[in-house]
Structure 1
Amino acid sequence: MASGLVALLDDVAGIAKIAAASLDDVAGAAGKAGTKAVGVVVDDTAVTPGYAMGFTPDRELPIVLKIAIGSLRNKLIFLLPGALLLSAFAPWAVTPLLMMGGAYLCFEATEKIIEAFNPHDDEDAADELALSAVDLEKQKVSGAIRTDLILSAEIMAIALADVADRPLGVQAAALALVGVAITTLVYGVVGLIVKMDDIGLHLAKRKSRAVSSLGRGMVKAMPVIMEWLTVIGTAAMLWVGGGIIVHGLEHFHLTPIPLWVEGGSHWARRIPGVGSFTGWTAMAAGSAVVGFIVGAVIAGVIHLLPKRAKH
């Protein structure tokens, strides 16, 4: 009996070691894959707070929670099975799909830039005013979840490309871990951003002069922070979308543009002391320029089509 128990314990210990190794493999794969998606995460974090602004304070966090649940549903129910099917049956399609998503991000960012210089949202604003608070909230949440679907698809595709050589089970676990971790991180930060003014108001009422001053500063800073988030989100969309397209062109050996971007980055790395930072900045800027050109071409075609249809 004792020897049987010892053998059983040995088997359990062996299974535990295998499980621990698998968990380490999954965690390592998820960490590596998640790091590659950081640009899209920045974009997602910068874009989402705008959907929860303009509502009463008691609705801000519930709206963020609804968007977060929708984001998890996008990643785990729709995108994860799709990514695994691609990995199993059509791995060649990952790069083209990534490039299509990257082109969409470039188009969205370019549209935002065009809109900033040529605003024409009076009709949209009038439509929003005509909606009830409940309908407006539903519209904003559904719009945020649709935008999140594109960004989540990019995150999952980038992660998949980085774990495509692993066993299917490790791929599934790593993608699920990336999806949950990134969603928790993004919407935790978004929740903090949208409640920043309320936190500031609470601190401003404290008796301590230093704490009160900090609170008032937070309230005053919120409009500036939101403007900067818009700028950062747009820049991240161009940088990430353009970078995906550049890497895709390199994958298909269409090298002139990737060589130009890489050449600019290589030249910037020569600056003493800050070479790594300037090299990364040059790479991001080159990718953003490519992204803007791609986005401008798509936007031009889309805006010209209705005019041609009228003629």
Structure 2
Amino acid sequence: MSIGLIALLDDIAGLAKVAAASLDDVGAQAVKAGAKAAGVVIDDAAVTPRYVVGFAASRELPIVGRIALGSLRNKLIYLLPAALILSFVAPWAITPLLMIGGAYLCYEGSEKVFEALFPHGAHEHEAAVGAATQTEQNVEDEKVSGAIKTDFILSAEIMAITLASLPSGSTWMQALVLAVVGIGITALVYGGVALIVKADDAGLALAANDRPVSSLLRRDDASAKLHTDRLLAPLTKGFGRGLVKAMPILLKLLAIVGTAAMIWVGGGIIIHGLEGYGFAGLAHAIHDIAAAAGHAVPSLGSAVEWLVSAAAAGLFGLILGAILIPLTHYVAVPVAKALRGGSRKAEKHTV
């Protein structure tokens, strides 16, 4: 009896070691995969703050929270199982689906550029595609919906990069790594976004606080002012005022960077997809131009090469998006309206 119990405990210990090793392996693979997707993660972080620009401070965190929940839903409920199923059943479908998503990013980003350059024409385009009546709640819902749609494409790219970087192994291990990466990246991106959009509130608090050290130490006696309070208060108040003045500018810059990132990522997805289908001329030309630019500035070779590649992908994405805007306006929207009208007539006839 005792020997059997010892053997059982030994087996349990062995299983525990295997489980621990598996968890370590999941963590290591998740870190490696997340690092490979870092470029898209940065784009995701740059894109999101623009969706809270123009809203009241009290709505900023709720909007970020709604987008974060939508992002988790995208990654864990839709993209994770879809990625595993497609990689097993139809791996050939992943690239065209990503290219469709890339085209959507190019369209949306170019639409934002069009709106900035030609605001009157942009309003006409929004009316043509059936934009909702712009009440405050509609604006917020529209922004959140647009952010979640954009996040879906960026998340799909992240999950695809993650899956491609994983070694062949059991399905449950791949699923676990994808889940860890998805949750970790979502927390990183939207935690950072929340800090960015609330930094001005922190600045206001610092600018109005005469007792920074006492407040930090939670000394409730307002009359008790430490010597360090007198020394540090001018610095903290100045820093707070600087934050308040800088954050609107930073948010506008992030909005611009976010739009550029959408166009760049979308263009890059299309270019790499075309390369996979044998149309590698554009990708090779961009690589050659970027390499030549990098060699021209040896001290900053890698940075210059990356900038030229990103600019070329962005230019391609902007051109593609500019083509998609009238196609959407004059082809896709009328066809969709005709199909909706036909389905409604069929329903009435059936009734």
TM (normalized to structure 1)?
0.87
Among 271, 291, 295, which residue is 2:321 paired with?
295
Partner of 1:265: 290
How far residue 298 of structure 1 moved from its aligned partner, in angstroms, is 1.9
User: How large is the Cα RMSD of the aligned pairs?
Assistant: 2.8
User: In 1, distance between residues paired with 2:108 and 2:176?
Assistant: 31
Partner of 2:116: 116
User: In 1, distance between residues paired with 2:334 and 2:242?
Assistant: 51
User: In 1, distance between residues paired with 2:97 and 2:169?
Assistant: 20
**146 and 238 in structure 1: CA distance in 2 versus 1, 3 angstrom threshold:** closer
How far residue 33 of structure 1 moved from its aligned partner, in angstroms, is 2.6
- Larger Rg computed on CA atoms: 2
**97 and 165 in structure 1: CA distance in 2 versus 1, 3 angstrom threshold:** farther
Q: Deviations over 1:81-136 (max 9, x none)?
A: 111111121111111111111121122111111111111366879x98963x5555
User: In 1, distance between residues paired with 2:14 and 2:269?
Assistant: 42
Is 1:227 the counterpart of 2:252? The answer is yes
**254 and 137 in structure 1: CA distance in 2 versus 1, 3 angstrom threshold:** closer
Contact 2:76 2:179 in 1 (8 A): yes
Q: Structure 1 stretches of 5 or more lacking a match? A: none
Contact 1:94 1:161 in 2 (8 A): no
User: In 1, distance between residues paired with 2:332 and 2:272?
Assistant: 32
User: In 2, distance between residues paired with 1:272 and 1:263?
Assistant: 15
How far residue 173 of structure 1 moved from its aligned partner, in angstroms, is 0.9
**308 and 178 in structure 1: CA distance in 2 versus 1, 3 angstrom threshold:** closer
Among 277, 280, 284, which residue is 2:310 paired with?
284
Is 1:79 the counterpart of 2:79? The answer is yes
> Identity rate of aligned residues, in percent?
54
Contact 2:111 2:325 in 1 (8 A): yes
Q: Deviations over 1:184-210 (max 9, x none)?
A: 011101111111111110111123111
How far residue 307 of structure 1 moved from its aligned partner, in angstroms, is 10
Helix, strand or coil for the counterpart of 1:48?
Answer: helix
**135 and 296 in structure 1: CA distance in 2 versus 1, 3 angstrom threshold:** closer
The count of aligned residue pairs is 307
Mean Cα deviation higher: 161-170 or 82-91: 161-170
Contact 2:50 2:254 in 1 (8 A): no
Is 1:160 the counterpart of 2:163? The answer is yes
TM (normalized to structure 2)?
0.78
Partner of 1:197: 200
Among 145, 150, 153, which residue is 2:153 paired with?
150
User: In 1, distance between residues paired with 2:305 and 2:190?
Assistant: 31
Q: Structure 2 stretches of 5 or more lacking a match? A: 211-232, 336-351
Helix, strand or coil for the counterpart of 2:119?
Answer: coil
Is 1:181 the counterpart of 2:181? The answer is no
How do 1:76-115 residues align onto structure 2 when only pairs under 5 Å count? 76-115=76-115
Q: Deviations over 1:43-70 (max 9, x none)?
A: 3222322333444433322232222112
User: In 1, distance between residues paired with 2:56 and 2:310?
Assistant: 38
Mean Cα deviation higher: 171-180 or 152-161: 152-161
